């Protein structure tokens, strides 16, 4: 069992960002999110990362399991939520979606990647943390 620490998550985010940079380097901007999603699956596999794709996000409301169709693009190593976009601008609703998925999945960190940029590393990715992250050891 891997101990989840801030440094473990930092390394994991680095690997996922590397996968996104590789996909973007090969394809560039301007395609549909679904295309980037398929290519990210390949890159994450090549990097030896365990992940679930299109994971159904459970919603429990006051003890009632709500049947929803919420899908997390990637849940990497059962700890990191990754949401992909291919949009002109990241909107507050995109950030809210990621933060809510993090809460519902009990994830301390999330990564929002927008492939519709000229440079993924500088402008196409942003990490988010929550109160769970703050409790982790370095």
**pTM confidence score:** 0.95
Q: Give the rounded percent of residues in the chain with a pLDDT score beyond 70.
A: 99
Q: What is the pLDDT of residue 47?
A: 97
* pLDDT tens column, 19-39: 999 999 999 999 999 999 999
Evaluate if residue 63 carries a pLDDT over 70.
Answer: yes
> What pLDDT sits at residue 1?
62
DSSP-derived secondary structure for 3-14: PP-HHHHHHHHH
Residue 2: pLDDT above 80? no
Phi and psi, residue 43, nearest 5°: -65, -40
Q: What is the pLDDT of residue 121?
A: 85
CB distance 47 to 74 below 8 Å = no
**Structural domain boundaries of the chain?**
6-134
Quickly state the pLDDT bin for 93 (edges 50, 70, 90): very high
């Amino acid at each position: 069992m891997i101990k989840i620490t801030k440094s473990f998550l930092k390394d994991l985010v680095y690997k996922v960002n590397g996968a996104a940079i590789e996909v973007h380097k090969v394809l560039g901007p301007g395609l549909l999110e679904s295309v980037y999603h398929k290519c990210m699956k390949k890159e994450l596999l090549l990097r030896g990362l365990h992940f679930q794709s299109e994971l159904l996000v459970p919603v429990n409301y006051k003890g009632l399991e709500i049947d929803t169709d919420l899908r997390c693009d990637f849940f990497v190593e059962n700890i990191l939520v990754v949401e992909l976009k291919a949009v002109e601008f990241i909107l507050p609703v995109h950030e809210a979606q990621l933060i809510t998925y993090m809460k519902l999945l009990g994830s301390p960190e999330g990564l929002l990647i927008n492939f519709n940029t000229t440079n993924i590393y500088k402008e196409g990715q942003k990490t988010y943390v929550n109160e769970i992250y703050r409790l982790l050891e370095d």
